[in-house]
């Protein structure tokens, strides 16, 4: 990615609690339908639990709760976006996946500096697609690195 | 000329080395882990030459050579002693036991082949 | 040395594996010597181990390894020859040298810089042992790693190998012009034939150096009736025209030096003696017996290049020749397998177990009769699966011996660092444990051993004052106990100073000052993060690694650690581990709608609670009466945060479990589903792992169930709850 021209990127857009968010497609490994999670005792409330991802144990995070948005009832339309961050896989529970859009870095705007807005601390940038504002998530801030941070 | 050789050494590495040195030269190589094992293996084969280590468990090289020479039909089989000792007394002990010659470890594979061809080939 | 790249690399890799084995027998042998073994084979084993390492190292040009091994071996050889009496100080040195040898092996293997200075230091000490012995016996320079003393060059190779030097021959003839003439006279003595040497072979080899005319002197041959079969009567004179120098000529006779009369002189120089009635003799292929009566008829002279053709054409390695009848090992044959392949097999078997469970479940749900063919077949399938699994696990099982040997080194080094005299006693070295477990035990065990030497054992002076022998003992044992492996590290030191430990914990704010704690609870404070009693940070343990880290690593192996200590008598740390990291015999239970797995071996019995069985100590703290005693009661659903506390446990099912410290606890669950083997899926550090959650598994329906460690989950209730319960234990 050392092109001199503005870096092109693809965003996976999805809906969480009636809002539109997106992630760099490069960090997305797969998208799978909702299955029941096994809760992990004493985990932070945004951790929904773990699921069986082809024989390995995948932790799943409720993105709405992580973003302090009202959590929705889960149903069959919910999906889990499996992302790879810091070498480990994590599932992000979202309402639904919308689209994959290509754009360049230039189309991204820095988020407004609203320190009081906890949602914004995990938003890397804003962009506009078809007149809709899309938040681009900073995955590193969404997925805590180790247990230390929540211990 | 393809020689059949019995190599007796308690070190797996050495056995591998000997095999690697001799197989490409078309030799047939049998191996044994010590003197006793060597005598057992010898029972089923007619080697053109024998290579043996000295320091081995159960039966050392000297004992092994003695035992081989005690067999009437093996009295003329060339036996080369593999030794890290270059000391003259090692050679004379080996010779007393009936060794044909000696090779000082570490050996060069081509020299080992040549030495065998010289005594047996 | 050679250009056989690939096979050499392979042999080299196998050499390093062999080195590990040799180092192991070296350690064993030294240990036996140190324990006073009189068996001469012991020192032989020790000597051979070092000797074999040297031999292989020489082949790969590992010079520092050769240098050290050679000089170490020289000293050991003196012990072997009874010229040196090794006392316990010498043994210590031998151990240190063995440790260093092992460092050198690893450094050689991993291409790391060689600790040459340490080699020199040790060699100086080692060779100081030989102080009074005659110089001649210890000439380390004797061994030249890459020296080749055998040089029997054939003519076609002589150019190429001229630079190799001519070994031990000390006849340095000036360079010869091509076709120089030599007269060689050779008269074998009787002993020559005893060594398997052949005059014909020697002459043939000599002739191969150039153009030769061979004459056989039969003048000594007696008449047939006086012919003694074992006595050689022949004398050969070879006239040779060759480019080889005298040294090369003499090399042909290297092996028979002293077993024959040999003279080599230039043609034209005066013969030393008359050649007698010379006749030419054909060089024939070697006859089978040394004393064969020579052919009386002469044949035309012949130079014999055809007979001594250099190397025959190479033959494919696998060309049926090598080893059909040969034996690589004696009775026990061994295959070396890449660990990755075994891992893969283990994983596949794991999948097989899961699949079998899933199949079981769906057939069960389909309502098949238990006597149907399908169900019978399934039963057989289950049995086979378990057999396969056991066999696969056995592949990875290894004795803990290598691990224990590493620990003996830790004891030696750490006791030297804190100037204590410490003896390590090991037991149960042959106990087998999964290889992965062994590997991951090394670090925690190292720390525990250091801890025992540093903190557990008193100084020699204090020991004497306490009426103990000045030499402290650290005991390292392993044993199989009810499906688990128990490894214990104990010392005969001063025991835990509980008062001091308690004070430290209070001063660090780890426990409230007014809370009474049982001895056991105080001991367990050592495992709290950030706890360290060493008032002076010593060079050994003060590395910022505490027993809490040890505990965490043991737990990550599905193990538990506990302490027993007696003031003045010593301290024992017990580690209890699963035999394998891959499978677990589990009890599958339901708690608040969730499925959980407990290790079957901790469950002592199951009870159904009646109205009078439970008594409340205070709100939230209950005990259950079990056969006259009281056992603390824990509601798993509450502990795991699945549901709020309930007023009554009546009708609930209770699992009575045994803890490592000998205590019991009762766990409230809703229902028991099944007892079955489950495949353990590790939870890595990215998980929010709660206390008591050891791992996870995948059930027959594809759902994940958590595997609990009951001891851990109860310990996690904290000292507060524990103190109360400790009171009830005494009831």
Q: Do A55 and C698 touch (CB under 8 A)?
A: yes
Helix axes C88-109, C63-80, angle to 10 degrees: 160
CA distance C330 to chain B (A): 7
Query: Over 60: is that where the pLDDT of C340 sits?
Result: yes
In this structure, the dihedral spanned by the alpha carbons of residues C704, C709, C712 and C714, taken in order and rounded to 10 degrees, is 90
Minimal Cα distance from A87: which residue of C? C686
The pLDDT, as a whole number, for residue C162 is 38
**Least confident interval from A43-47, C277-281, C707-711:** C277-281
Query: Over 90: is that where the pLDDT of A73 sits?
Result: no
**Least confident interval from C317-326, C492-501, C549-558:** C317-326
CA distance C328 to chain B (A): 6
Q: What is the largest CA-CA distance in chain B?
A: 34
Between C181 and C53, residue with greater pLDDT: C53
CA distance C584 to chain A (A): 16
Q: Do C152 and B114 touch (CB under 8 A)?
A: yes
Between C708 and C558, residue with greater pLDDT: C708
Region B103-115: mean pLDDT is: 81
Region C304-330: mean pLDDT is: 40
Cβ contacts of C712 within 8 Å, gap of 6 or more: C555, C560, C691, C692, C694
pLDDT band at C224 (very low <50, low <70, confident <90, very high): low
Query: Over 80: is that where the pLDDT of C87 sits?
Result: yes
Distance (Å) of CA C164 to CA B111, C309, C361? 11, 21, 74
Q: Bridge partners of A52?
A: A57
Region C408-437: mean pLDDT is: 88
Distance CA C621, CA C627 (A): 20
Q: Do C327 and B40 touch (CB under 8 A)?
A: yes
Q: Do B11 and C56 touch (CB under 8 A)?
A: yes
Q: Do A50 and C696 touch (CB under 8 A)?
A: yes
CA distance A141 to chain C (A): 14
In this prediction, what percent of chain C has a pLDDT beyond 90? Answer: 13
Q: Which residues of A touch C692 (CB under 8 A)?
A: 41
ipTM confidence score: 0.83
**Least confident interval from B36-45, C325-334, C655-664:** C325-334
Mutating which of C143, C154, C168, C326 best tests the B interface, going by the most B Cβ atoms within 10 A? Answer: C326
pLDDT band at C327 (very low <50, low <70, confident <90, very high): very low
- Specify the fold of C400-578: Heat Shock Protein 90 (3.30.565)
Distance CA C19, CA C4 (A): 21
Contact A120, A44 (CB under 8 A): no
Query: Over 90: is that where the pLDDT of C492 sits?
Result: yes
Strand order in the sheet with A79-85: A28-33, A79-85, A88-94, A56-62, A47-53
Minimal Cα distance from A51: which residue of C? C704
> Domain spanning C5-142 has what CATH number?
1.20.120.160
CA distance B63 to chain C (A): 14
C145-161 tens-digit pLDDT: 333 333 333 333 333 33
Contact B91, B63 (CB under 8 A): no
Q: Do C681 and A44 touch (CB under 8 A)?
A: no
- Specify the fold of C583-729: OB fold (Dihydrolipoamide Acetyltransferase, E2P) (2.40.50)
Q: Do C326 and B30 touch (CB under 8 A)?
A: yes
Region C479-507: mean pLDDT is: 87
Q: Which 3-state string (H, E, C) describes C93-136?
A: HHHHHHHHHHHHHHHHHCCCCCCHHHHHHHHHHHHHCCCCCCHH
A140 interface with C at CB cutoff 8 Å: no
C589 interface with A at CB cutoff 8 Å: no
Query: Over 70: is that where the pLDDT of C600 sits?
Result: yes
The pLDDT, as a whole number, for residue C208 is 82
The pLDDT, as a whole number, for residue C192 is 81
pLDDT band at C279 (very low <50, low <70, confident <90, very high): very low
Minimal Cα distance from C683: which residue of A? A57
Mean per-residue pLDDT over chain C, rounded: 75
Which chains form contacts with chain A, at 3 or more CB pairs under 8 Å? C
Q: Which residues of C touch B64 (CB under 8 A)?
A: none
Q: Do C311 and B87 touch (CB under 8 A)?
A: no
Region C169-191: mean pLDDT is: 63
Q: How far apart are the first and last CA of chain A?
A: 37
Domain assignments of chain B as residue spans, ordered by start? 4-120
Region C487-512: mean pLDDT is: 88
A34 interface with C at CB cutoff 8 Å: no
Query: Over 60: is that where the pLDDT of C283 sits?
Result: no
The pLDDT, as a whole number, for residue C544 is 42
Domain assignments of chain C as residue spans, ordered by start? 5-142, 174-308, 339-397, 400-578, 583-729
B39 interface with C at CB cutoff 8 Å: no
In this prediction, what percent of chain C has a pLDDT beyond 70? Answer: 75
Region B113-119: mean pLDDT is: 85
Q: Bridge partners of C188?
A: C260
Cβ contacts of C345 within 8 Å, gap of 6 or more: C392, C395
Region C569-598: mean pLDDT is: 86
Query: Over 50: is that where the pLDDT of B84 sits?
Result: yes
Query: Over 50: is that where the pLDDT of A1 sits?
Result: no
Region A57-63: mean pLDDT is: 91
Indicate the burial class of C659 (C-beta count within 10 angstroms; 0-12, 13-18, 19 or more): middle
C14 interface with B at CB cutoff 8 Å: yes
The pLDDT, as a whole number, for residue C399 is 87
The pLDDT, as a whole number, for residue C284 is 41
Query: Over 50: is that where the pLDDT of C64 sits?
Result: yes
C690 interface with A at CB cutoff 8 Å: yes
**Least confident interval from B19-33, C123-137, C165-179, C569-583:** C165-179
Q: Which residues 57-76 of A are in CB contact (within 8 Å) with C?
A: 57, 59
Strands A19-24 and A8-16: antiparallel
CA distance B98 to chain C (A): 4
Distance CA C492, CA C505 (A): 24
Query: Over 50: is that where the pLDDT of C702 sits?
Result: yes
pLDDT band at C536 (very low <50, low <70, confident <90, very high): very low
B58 interface with C at CB cutoff 8 Å: no
The pLDDT, as a whole number, for residue C545 is 55
Between C131 and C380, residue with greater pLDDT: C380
Between C111 and C613, residue with greater pLDDT: C111
Query: Over 70: is that where the pLDDT of A83 sits?
Result: yes
Minimal Cα distance from C4: which residue of B? B20
- DSSP-derived 3-state class of residue A53: strand
**Least confident interval from C390-404, C455-469, C607-621:** C607-621
Cβ contacts of B9 within 8 Å, gap of 6 or more: B15, B18, B31, B33, B51, B52, B53, B56, B82
Residue A34's φ and ψ, nearest 5 degrees, are -70, 130
Region C42-66: mean pLDDT is: 88
Between C574 and B109, residue with greater pLDDT: C574
Region C415-441: mean pLDDT is: 87
Region C129-137: mean pLDDT is: 60
Mean per-residue pLDDT over chain A, rounded: 81
CA distance B47 to chain C (A): 12
The pLDDT, as a whole number, for residue C81 is 83
Residue C204's φ and ψ, nearest 5 degrees, are -60, -45
Tokens standing for C612? 């009078």
Q: Do B105 and C58 touch (CB under 8 A)?
A: yes
Contact C584, C578 (CB under 8 A): yes
Which chains form contacts with chain B, at 3 or more CB pairs under 8 Å? C
B81 interface with C at CB cutoff 8 Å: no
* DSSP class of C454: I
> Domain spanning C174-308 has what CATH number?
3.30.70
C328 interface with B at CB cutoff 8 Å: yes
Other Cβ atoms within 10 Å of B107 Cβ, number: 24
> Domain spanning B4-120 has what CATH number?
3.40.50.2300
pLDDT band at C315 (very low <50, low <70, confident <90, very high): very low
Between C569 and C308, residue with greater pLDDT: C569
Q: Which residues of C touch B40 (CB under 8 A)?
A: 327
Minimal Cα distance from B98: which residue of C? C195
The pLDDT, as a whole number, for residue C574 is 92
Minimal Cα distance from C45: which residue of B? B57
CA distance B70 to chain C (A): 11
Chains C and A touch (3+ CB pairs under 8 A): yes
The pLDDT, as a whole number, for residue C227 is 59
- Asked if CATH classification 3.30.70.20 holds for the domain at A8-146, the reply, yes or no, is no
Contact C429, C404 (CB under 8 A): yes
**Highest mean pLDDT (candidates A11-20, C277-286, C291-300, C532-541):** A11-20
Query: Over 80: is that where the pLDDT of C376 sits?
Result: yes
CA-angle at A9, arms to A4 and A15, nearest 5°:
160
The pLDDT, as a whole number, for residue C287 is 41
**Least confident interval from A63-77, B62-76, C231-245, C717-731:** C717-731
The pLDDT, as a whole number, for residue C148 is 33
Q: Do B118 and C205 touch (CB under 8 A)?
A: yes
Chains B and A touch (3+ CB pairs under 8 A): no
Q: Which residues of C touch A43 (CB under 8 A)?
A: 688, 690
C346 interface with A at CB cutoff 8 Å: no
Tokens standing for C538? 């010593």
């Amino acid at each position: 990615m050392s092109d001199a021209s503005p870096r092109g990127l693809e965003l996976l857009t999805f809906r969480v609690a009636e809002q539109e968010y997106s992630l760099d497609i490069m960090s997305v490994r797969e998208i799978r339908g909702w299955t029941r999670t096994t809760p992990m005792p004493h985990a932070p409330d945004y951790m929904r639990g773990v699921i069986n991802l082809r024989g390995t144990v995948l932790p799943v995070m409720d993105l709405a709760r992580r973003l302090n948005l009202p959590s929705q009832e889960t149903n069959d339309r919910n999906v889990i976006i499996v992302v790879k961050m810091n070498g480990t896989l994590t599932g992000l529970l979202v309402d639904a996946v919308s689209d994959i859009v290509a754009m360049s870095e230039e189309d991204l705007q820095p988020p407004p500096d609203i320190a009081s807005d906890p949602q914004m601390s995990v938003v890397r940038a804003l962009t506009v697609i078809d007149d809709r504002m899309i938040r681009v998530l900073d995955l590193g801030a969404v997925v805590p690195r180790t247990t230390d941070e929540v211990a | 000329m393809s020689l059949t050789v019995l190599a007796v050494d308690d070190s797996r590495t050495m056995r591998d080395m000997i095999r690697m040195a001799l197989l490409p030269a078309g030799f047939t190589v049998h191996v044994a882990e010590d003197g006793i094992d060597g005598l057992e293996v010898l029972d089923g084969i007619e080697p053109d030459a024998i290579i043996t280590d000295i320091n081995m468990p159960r039966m050392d090289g000297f004992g092994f050579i003695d035992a081989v020479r005690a067999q009437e039909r093996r009295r003329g089989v060339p036996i080369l002693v593999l030794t890290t000792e270059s000391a003259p007394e090692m050679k004379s002990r080996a010779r007393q036991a009936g060794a044909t010659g000696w090779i000082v470890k570490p050996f060069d594979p081509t020299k080992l082949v040549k030495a065998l061809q010289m005594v047996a080939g | 040395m050679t250009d056989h790249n690939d096979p050499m690399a392979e042999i080299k890799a196998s050499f390093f594996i062999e080195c590990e084995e040799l180092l192991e027998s070296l350690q064993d042998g030294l240990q036996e010597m140190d324990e006073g073994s009189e068996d001469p084979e012991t020192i032989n084993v020790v000597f051979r181990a070092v000797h074999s390492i040297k031999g292989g190292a020489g082949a790969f040009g590992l010079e520092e390894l050769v240098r050290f091994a050679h000089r170490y071996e020289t000293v050991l050889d003196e012990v072997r020859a009874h010229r040196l009496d090794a006392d316990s100080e010498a043994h210590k040195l031998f151990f240190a040298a063995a440790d260093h040898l092992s460092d050198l092996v690893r450094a050689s293997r991993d291409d790391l810089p060689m600790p040459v200075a340490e080699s020199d230091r040790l060699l100086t000490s080692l060779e100081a042992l030989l102080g009074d012995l005659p110089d001649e016996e210890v000439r380390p320079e004797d061994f030249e790693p890459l020296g080749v003393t055998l040089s029997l060059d054939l003519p076609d190779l002589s150019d190429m190998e001229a630079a190799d030097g001519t070994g031990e021959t000390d006849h340095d003839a000036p360079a010869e012009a091509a076709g120089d003439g030599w007269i060689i006279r050779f008269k074998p003595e009787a002993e020559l034939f005893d060594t398997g040497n052949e005059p014909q072979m020697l002459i043939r080899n000599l002739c191969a150096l150039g153009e030769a005319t061979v004459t056989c002197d039969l003048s000594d041959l007696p008449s047939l009736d006086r012919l003694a079969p074992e006595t050689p009567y022949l004398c050969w004179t070879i006239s040779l025209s060759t480019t080889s120098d005298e040294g090369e000529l003499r090399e042909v006779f290297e092996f028979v030096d002293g077993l024959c009369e040999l003279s080599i002189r230039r043609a034209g120089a005066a013969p030393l003696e008359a050649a007698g009635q010379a006749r030419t003799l054909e060089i024939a292929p070697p006859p089978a017996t040394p004393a064969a009566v020579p052919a009386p008829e002469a044949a035309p002279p012949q130079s014999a290049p055809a007979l001594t053709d250099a190397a025959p054409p190479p033959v494919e390695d696998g060309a049926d020749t090598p080893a059909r009848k040969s034996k690589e090992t004696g009775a026990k044959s061994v295959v070396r397998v890449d660990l990755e392949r075994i891992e893969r097999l283990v994983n596949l078997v794991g999948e097989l177990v899961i699949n079998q469970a899933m199949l079981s479940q769906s057939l069960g749900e389909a309502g098949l009769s238990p006597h149907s063919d399908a169900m019978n077949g399934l039963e057989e399938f289950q049995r086979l699966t378990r057999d396969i699994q056991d066999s696969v696990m056995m592949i990875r099982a290894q004795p803990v011996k290598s691990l224990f040997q590493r620990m003996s080194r830790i004891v030696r080094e750490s006791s030297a660092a804190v100037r204590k005299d410490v003896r390590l006693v090991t037991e149960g070295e042959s106990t087998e444990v999964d290889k992965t477990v062994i590997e991951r035990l090394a670090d925690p065990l190292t720390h525990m051993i250091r801890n025992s030497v540093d903190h557990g054992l008193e100084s020699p002076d204090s020991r004497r004052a306490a009426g103990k022998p000045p030499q402290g003992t650290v005991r390292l044992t392993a044993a199989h106990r009810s499906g688990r492996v128990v490894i214990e590290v104990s010392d005969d030191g001063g025991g835990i100073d509980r008062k001091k430990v308690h004070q430290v914990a209070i001063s660090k704010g780890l426990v409230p000052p007014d809370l009474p704690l049982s001895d056991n609870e105080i001991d367990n404070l050592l495992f709290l993060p950030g706890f360290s009693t060493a008032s002076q940070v010593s060079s050994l343990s003060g590395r910022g690694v505490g027993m809490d880290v040890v505990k965490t690593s043991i737990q990550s192996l599905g193990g538990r650690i506990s302490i027993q200590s007696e003031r003045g008598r010593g301290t024992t740390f017990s580690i209890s581990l699963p035999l394998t990291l891959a499978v677990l015999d589990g009890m599958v239970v339901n708690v608040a709608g969730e499925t959980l797995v407990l290790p079957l071996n901790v469950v002592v019995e199951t009870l159904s609670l009646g109205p009078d069985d439970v008594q409340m100590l205070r709100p939230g703290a209950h005990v259950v009466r079990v056969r006259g005693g009281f056992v603390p009661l824990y509601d798993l659903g509450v502990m795991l945060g699945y549901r709020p506390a309930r007023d009554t446990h009546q009708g609930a099912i209770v699992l009575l479990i045994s803890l490592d410290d000998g205590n019991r606890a009762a766990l409230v669950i809703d229902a028991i589903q099944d007892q079955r083997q489950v495949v353990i899926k590790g939870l890595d550090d990215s998980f929010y792992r709660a206390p008591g959650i050891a791992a996870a598994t995948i059930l027959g329906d594809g759902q994940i169930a958590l595997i609990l460690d009951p001891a851990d989950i109860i310990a996690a209730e904290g000292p507060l709850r524990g103190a109360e319960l400790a009171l009830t234990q005494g009831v």
